Amino acid sequence: MTITIFHNPSCSKSTRCLEILLNAGIQPTIIEYLQTPPTYGELKDIITQLNMTPRDVIRTNEEPYSNLNLGSKTLSDEQLISAMVDNPILIQRPIILANGIAVIGRPPESILDLV
């Protein structure tokens, strides 16, 4: 099984999810997405795998959210995805991918079904 985690090492939830994976004997591919953000196409695919919308995946408490007026209902999904690619701090974390399934590790125990 191949598992990938979009990880932020300064996030306690992300760190806990990584610990859960490692304790289960899984060495995931770790992508520190603030350093290596997903492309537009990758993020669009991840959102599809999550079975969510871009609004479900965007972090509303981050500064770029208000600065870019991302709460505006006139913005398209494409515009929101582009904003997250340009400002990866806006992407919910952590996101774990496994065999075509994606979950957001909030709470961290939500990833247990994957392992």
Name the token pair of 61. Answer: 């408490």
Whether residue 71 is contained in a domain is answered as no
Pick the catalytic residue: 9, 10, 11, 74?
11
Whether residue 81 is contained in a domain is answered as no
Known active-site residue 17: no
**Domain extent at residue 34:** 1-47+90-109+111-115
Give the C-alpha separation, 114 to 71, whole Å.
32
Whether residue 61 is contained in a domain is answered as no
- pLDDT tens, position by position, 51-77: 999 999 999 999 999 999 999 999 999
The DSSP code sequence of 22-78 is HHTT---EEEETTTSPPPHHHHHHHHHHHT--HHHHB-TTSHHHHHTTTT-TT--HH
Q: Which residues does the chain have with pLDDT short of 70?
A: none
Query: What is the residue whose two structure tokens read 């991840």?
Result: 46
* Torsion on CA atoms 56, 30, 22, 2, rounded to nearest 10: 80
Residue 16 sits in a domain whose CATH number is: 3.40.30.10
**Total domain count for the chain?**
1
pTM over 0.85? The answer is: yes
